[in-house]
Structure 1
């Protein structure tokens, strides 16, 4: 029998079950009652098993006992399953289109007539076409659930548990504080140094480290070397703080890639001391973010680093990217389209492994070449500046950074990208604040990026139009790409909009100040543009003073008025250069703005709705 026949039999048999008054009558008989209770028990057990299956949902969600909640649970579960099926089908059709395949008469998919190629995943070329690299693969299961990764997204400062604290207990002490930059400058062997280009990737031993045994073997290799190159691959889109997905390490003779998702709890234990060891040189490129990712995910703090990105700046190269260094010094053309690929993908395609290896394979050679160039430059320099020392000072300062968790404050919403130029009134600004707070709370609890929960542009669009009905909200976001958390929380979002609109008075002052600051910035930028154009034409133009007005006597929102901030002083007018204004305004855009108003504008009933909703929410 086929499936449709079974379904028809099931539907027909249900019609024989008594209903309404007949059911209550039959329920008085023990034989009928026991049978119904047994069916109910088995159904409950089956639904509980389905709901708690992390293989299906990515996170367990027990079946509710209340009948009304149970009905809603089933409806939501069906919606999630159908959404997942839609995603998989869309992804399948996208790949079919890219691979130029079609369905044959036998039901199997094959390449179109006259086409040859390989059906593959990210990075596998087929039919001579260049594949599109996706930064987010919708069908991937979140590694947080797959590998049971424990993260602390609480709205509390990050604790550097592997560091000592100062005597007053107010700050953490980086191990570099006990060392000097001069401890790392190695000039002694540079004059006799002859850089040796490493062999090609295919001729170099390689190990993909996916278990603790492999990690111990890597640790043994690092214990016997004086220097090694390091790089990380990271994913920010589907977690609140981000996840380090891979660690690439190269010695002079071997390449390693560590699966830091599988081995997250073990990487620090086995590798921490090698990164901290001041006698071992660590070579990285553009390490600003790598340094804090190592601290956050593995408790690793780096001592004695040479940053080739900083060296390229001191050498004043044409470009500072690793791609340029590979081409300039090694003649290697790196495929940087995988830089923003979804590095959560497992198993890793060969093309992504190749990309990862290239990031460190040549780095020790580049380090040698750059050291020689810097040393020669210092010998030619007549001044007291030492280019090689400057690189180590810059690298030292990069290592001294300490990771800080993003915290939600009353004024955090003012940092929303695009808000300053939106021209919002107090009512609209209150909506921004409410949505921003809701998004942050939900992103922390679900370990999602705020951009995946509710993109900045959508927050601004909702605040601009302030929809107060679900239908209006649906129409507003209809043209956007799929926003699962918005779709599941229409009622909560509408509730936030309504309650926030009632608190407009508390946001009027902040709205006015944002408009004033934006106007001042626009005027300063225009004047700077005019001055630049005049200078290019050879004219000597005196830039006029900034006009006085409401914003003149007050500093940018949330800041005291430092000298030269672009706003004339209360006690006396003085000329302010346009460059100062633009510099001040630009720096202000990057700083948190504090307001004198409270943005905790979610009423208790909204918070309650949020908590109950997020508990049962399906992630993917």
Structure 2
């Protein structure tokens, strides 16, 4: 294994970009973040490989401006493994691929059992990767050599893997399917910010009453603001379970909060004033949160039989049809059609025709290939369910 170094010097960066420009073929790209350690999802290492140039490991905090790299590789296909994880961090750096090939997504479409990078490399190339540092704190400086080797391996074999998977997709008649999925991944807009992100607090369902919810909101917000300020993952400061314990215990004083053994975390005591102030704000505020949040999503499917028997029958009739089709196409059901899409059209269906079902699926974000393969079958299943509900034919089991 060669010894790798991180490029954090602008002159060396420019030289690497020239080498990448002069090389040929697609480029393999990967990003390492410090998830679980830092508040941000920024890139702390960008790895790039291109045939004829080799592997380069770039240090984003040190380099800052990545426009030379965009200019060097911005006109060729970028190869990723699980692109959706890396694209947001790359875009923060101003790096935008013109087109992508995703080896993880390709493996899913081919129905492969293991779709992690190590499994895909071993299956396609017979090479075993030692994946030991995936959960490391990549904001560490200097980065240990073993970590750099790990980072290099994330891109070193990716082009050859891409070529093999492209051949397999062609043999399976799935080249166009993959192209649509890759394009959807590349062009998918970011999720809009949640109106009430504090409701993501794990275990919030245990909190009763608007006043307690207000305390939970203020504690979560205080932790979020402090985490952003010090760029540390919120859960490392005070875990969700500790915030929840403070809410449920309803301490009568700051000292009672300090004495709560379940209130743990590296900042649980050093920032005690911050947490107590948040609790008091929650207890004083007149802006109480709603106890129930309205949603346009269908209720859990387990409740459909009582709440909407016809929708329940539609879903129970259509779901095995879609699952059988996915099996026939040798891919996971969720890649053939997002399960939530099927639930939504079953709960509130349009007309029972392929065109109407297809339009509804398209509005939900389904791709053309998904609609072409599922719309008619879903429409037929809905008709069958309607006839069964009317007593015309036996219901599907």
For normalisation by structure 2, the TM-score amounts to 0.71
- Distance in 2 separating the partners of 1:227 and 1:314: 21
Q: CA deviation at 1:408?
A: 7.3
Q: CA deviation at 1:502?
A: 4.0
Distance 1:448 1:207, change over 3 A: closer
**Given the alignment of the two structures, is residue 364 of structure 1 paired with residue 364 of structure 2, yes or no?**
no
Distance 1:399 1:453, change over 3 A: same
Q: Secondary structure at the match of 1:218?
A: helix
What stretches of structure 2 of length at least 5 have no aligned partner? 317-338, 345-397
Larger radius of gyration: 1
**Partner of 2:79 in structure 1?**
283
**Partner of 1:11 in structure 2?**
none
Q: CA deviation at 1:244?
A: 0.8
Distance 1:275 1:293, change over 3 A: farther
**Partner of 1:350 in structure 2?**
145
Q: CA deviation at 1:207?
A: 5.5
CA RMSD of aligned residues (A): 3.3
Q: Secondary structure at the match of 1:339?
A: coil
**Given the alignment of the two structures, is residue 488 of structure 1 paired with residue 270 of structure 2, yes or no?**
yes
Q: Secondary structure at the match of 1:249?
A: strand
Pairing partner for 1:315 from 110, 133, 144: 110
Q: CA deviation at 1:352?
A: 1.1
Q: Is the 8 A contact 2:104 2:117 kept in 1?
A: yes
Q: Secondary structure at the match of 1:473?
A: helix
Q: CA deviation at 1:489?
A: 2.8
Distance 1:337 1:579, change over 3 A: farther
Q: CA deviation at 1:332?
A: 2.1
- Distance in 2 separating the partners of 1:492 and 1:350: 40
- Distance in 1 separating the partners of 2:117 and 2:34: 19
Q: Is the 8 A contact 1:281 1:304 kept in 2?
A: yes
- Distance in 1 separating the partners of 2:113 and 2:228: 41
What stretches of structure 1 of length at least 5 have no aligned partner? 1-200, 379-386, 528-542, 547-567, 569-573, 589-620
**Given the alignment of the two structures, is residue 252 of structure 1 paired with residue 60 of structure 2, yes or no?**
no
- Distance in 1 separating the partners of 2:231 and 2:15: 33
Question: Per-residue displacement from partner, 1:62-113 (whole Å, max 9, x unpaired)?
Answer: xxxxxxxxxxxxxxxxxxxxxxxxxxxxxxxxxxxxxxxxxxxxxxxxxxxx
Distance 1:238 1:454, change over 3 A: same
**Given the alignment of the two structures, is residue 261 of structure 1 paired with residue 61 of structure 2, yes or no?**
yes
**Partner of 2:187 in structure 1?**
400
Q: Is the 8 A contact 1:291 1:401 kept in 2?
A: no
Q: Is the 8 A contact 1:436 1:459 kept in 2?
A: yes
- Distance in 1 separating the partners of 2:252 and 2:51: 63
**Partner of 1:293 in structure 2?**
89
Pairing partner for 1:577 from 308, 312, 325: 312
Pairing partner for 2:201 from 416, 440, 449: 416
Q: Secondary structure at the match of 2:40?
A: coil
Pairing partner for 1:497 from 274, 279, 302: 279
Alignment of 1:221-232 (within 5 A): 221-224=19-22, 225-232=24-31
- Distance in 1 separating the partners of 2:284 and 2:4: 62
Distance 1:350 1:499, change over 3 A: closer
Q: Is the 8 A contact 1:467 1:494 kept in 2?
A: no
- Distance in 1 separating the partners of 2:56 and 2:46: 8
Q: Is the 8 A contact 1:283 1:363 kept in 2?
A: yes
- Distance in 1 separating the partners of 2:73 and 2:315: 41
**Partner of 1:214 in structure 2?**
12
